[in-house]
Amino acid sequence: MSEVQAPTPVERADADGTSIRRFLIRPEAPALAFLAALLIVFSVSSDKFLNVSNLESILTSVSVLGIIALAVNQVILTGEIDISTGSMLGLCAVGAGAVATSFGGLALPLLAGIAVGALVGAINGLLVTVGRIPSIIVTLGMLYALRGVILLVTGGSWITGIPPETRVLGTGSVLGISFPMIILLILFLVMELVSRHSTWGRNVFAVGGNRRAARFAGLPIDRVRFLAFVLVGVFVGVASVIYMGRAGSVQTNTGTGLELQVVAAVVIGGTSISGGRGSSLAALTGAVLIGVILNGLVLLGVPGIWQQAVLGALILLAVSTDILRRRLLGDKA
- Residues forming contacts to another protein in the complex (CB under 8 A) are 1, 48, 53-54, 57, 61, 81, 127, 131-134, 136-138, 140-149, 151-152, 154-158, 160-161, 171, 243, 246-249, 251-254, 256, 260, 263-264, 267, 273-274, 298, 303-316, 319-320, 323-324
Closer CB to another protein, 38 or 145, in the complex: 145
Cα of 52 vs its chain's centroid, Å = 24
Q: Which residues pair with 250 in a beta bridge?
A: 159
What's the CA gap between 65 and 220, in Å, rounded? 30
Q: How many residues does the chain have?
A: 333
Between residues 39 and 57, which has the closer beta carbon with respect to another protein?
57
Answer whether 308's CB lies under 8 Å from 264's CB: no
114 — phi, psi (to 5°)?
Answer: -65, -40
Query: Which lies closer to another protein via its Cβ, residue 196 or residue 327?
Result: 327
Residue with smaller CB distance to another protein, 21 or 48: 48
CB of 320 to another protein, least distance (A): 6
Query: CB neighbours (10 Å) of residue 222?
Result: 15
Neighbouring C-beta atoms of residue 291, cutoff 10 Å? 22
Report the SS3 class of residue 174: strand
Q: Which residues contact 3 (CB under 8 A, 6 or more apart)?
A: 274
**C-alpha to C-alpha distance for 156 and 62, rounded to whole angstroms:** 27
Are 252 and 158 spatial neighbours (Cβ–Cβ below 8 Å)?
Answer: yes
Residue with Cβ nearer another protein (201 or 294): 294
Q: Which is nearer to another protein, 217 or 313 (CB)?
A: 313
Phi, psi of 176, rounded to the nearest 5 degrees: 85, -5
Comparing CB distances to another protein, the nearer of 10 and 137 is 137
| Rounded Cα gap, residues 288 and 254, in angstroms | 21
Closest separation in Å from C-beta 313 to another protein: 6
Dump strand ranges (E) for 36-100: none
In the complex, minimum distance from the CB of residue 144 to another protein, in angstroms, rounded to a whole number: 4
Cβ proximity to another protein: between 4 and 15 the closer is 4
| Cα–Cα distance for residue pair 41/44, rounded to 1 Å | 5
What is the distance of C-alpha 144 from the center of its chain? 19
CA distance 318 to 268: 5
